[in-house]
Amino acid sequence: MKNVAVYCASSSQVKQVYFDEAYRLGQLFAKEQIGVVYGDGGIGLMGALAKGVLAEKGEITGIIPQFMVDEGWNNPASTRTIIVQTMHERKAKIADLADAMVALPGGIGTFEELLECLTWKQLGLHTKPVVILNTCGYYDPLLAAIDRMVAEHFIRPVHKEMFAVVSTAEEVIPALLNAKPWDKSTRRDAAI
């Protein structure tokens, strides 16, 4: 595992525990010489993640659309920045550069990135490990919704095996390394 995509919030108004976990995760990736690919934000959990990576002399690649650079939303501290034109290009580039994906708490954009990543995996478009860092039970409502999707037969029980859920930054790397293998033939399970 050379690079991991991390989806997370840019909000600077969240509880300190979320910042602390993002920073710690960045440190852990850097200590294991795992590069981080993210949305290139300099504030919120994105900024904390980047600071954690850089504090341990790690590599962090930011992918950001030009319109966000024009707004000054990019992180000049990122070790590498790739500027794209659209949000669609951003998400595709992040996924393309990553060997695995991790979702930290976040807002609508983070949820959208996580759910798109899971959709692609469900369709067999990628087979990469996906881990949800469920700090303070943040993702409990989404996990309950996924349980209901299974109960109501919108998805199959096997689709809950596309991702792992952990509670702390320290659990993320082991969860990625021990992820259940997934192959493109699971595409046949997408239809229910």
Each domain of the chain, given as residue ranges in start order, spans 3-189
Average pLDDT of 77-94? 97
- Strands 35-38, 164-166: pairing kind: unpaired
CATH class in words for 3-189: alpha beta
Give the tens place of pLDDT for each residue, 45-81: 999 999 999 999 999 999 999 999 999 999 999 999 9
pLDDT of residue 159: 93
Q: In what side-by-side order are the strands of the sheet with 80-84?
A: 80-84, 60-65, 35-38, 3-7, 100-103, 130-133, 164-166
Give the tens place of pLDDT for each residue, 132-170: 999 999 999 999 999 999 999 999 999 999 999 999 999
What is the value of pTM for the model shown? 0.95
Q: pLDDT confidence of 185, banded at 50, 70, 90?
A: confident
Structure tokens at 33: 């010489």
Give the tens place of pLDDT for each residue, 1-25: 999 999 999 999 999 999 999 999 9
